[in-house]
A and B are shown apart, each in its own frame.
Chain A
C-alpha cells in the first residue's frame, strides 16, 4: 500500500490567505522533502527536513518523525504560488527509496 498520504489533493486560496498541506506516513521516516512542480514538470526543492521546522519566505515546513507527519504552510498566498506541490519521505529502513505523496494542486485566485 501507499506509504505516504498527502492531503488535500486540491486547494483553492484567495490572494493573501494561507493554508497547510499535510503528508501522513504509514511508517517511520528519516527525512522529508517538499517540492513544487515547475512549468516543465520538473520538481523544484522547497525544503529538506530531518526534524523540526524550516521557514523560507512565506513557506514553512514541519516534520515529526515520531508522529509520522509533515506539513507545508503557505501564508499570504500569491498568484505565482499556484502549482502542484509534492512531499517525499525517506524510510528509516532503506536508504535507497523515496516515497512520494500524490500531490496537491494549489490554485491561488485574485
Chain B
C-alpha cells in the first residue's frame, strides 16, 4: 500500500546545530503532519501543513521549528538551533483529504533524533 518514507531513520547531532528531517509523503496526498514522541511517552502533535501553509500547530512547535515542502519535494521539519529536549522520535504523516473525509493518516516509521 501507500507508504510514507522518512529519511534518515536515525540522526545524531550536537546541541546548537541545525537539523532537517525529511519526509517523502504519499504521492497524491495534500495534507502533511509532524508528530513528536519522547521515549516512553505518548506521541504528541506538532504541526499540520496544507497548500504551503501551516494550518495548525501545538505549543510544542517552538519558534526554532519550521516546516516546508518546496516544489512538491520532501516535506521537511527544520530545527535551528537544536536543544537537548529535542531528542525524540519524529513521525511524519500525510493524508489525501481533510476533515470531511474518512481518509486515514499514513505514517512514516519515524526518525530518531539524538541531540548530544
Contact = CB atoms under 8 A, between A and B. Distances in A.
B99 A98 contact: no
Interface string B12-56: 000000000000000000010101010101111100100000011
A65 to B, nearest CB: 15
B107 A98 contact: yes
A100 interface: yes
Given A33-B42, A42-B48, A97 B102 contact: no
A40 interface: yes
A98 B91 contact: yes
Interface residues of A, number: 23
A97 B43 contact: no
Contacts of A100: 104-105, 107
Interface residues of B, number: 28
Interface in B36-94: 37, 39, 41-45, 48, 55-56, 89, 91
Nearest to B47: A42
A39 interface: yes
A93 interface: no
A96 B105 contact: no
Interface string A34-51: 000111111111001000
Interface string A68-101: 0000000000000000101010000001111010
Contacts of A97: 109-110
10 contacts: A10-B102, A41-B48, A41-B95, A43-B35, A45-B42, A45-B43, A84-B102, A86-B105, A95-B39, A96-B89
What are the 6 A-B residue pairs with the smallest beta carbon separation, nearest first?
A48-B42, A39-B99, A103-B104, A96-B112, A105-B102, A42-B45
Interface of B: 9-10, 31, 33, 35, 37, 39, 41-45, 48, 55-56, 89, 91, 95, 98-99, 102, 104-105, 107, 109-112
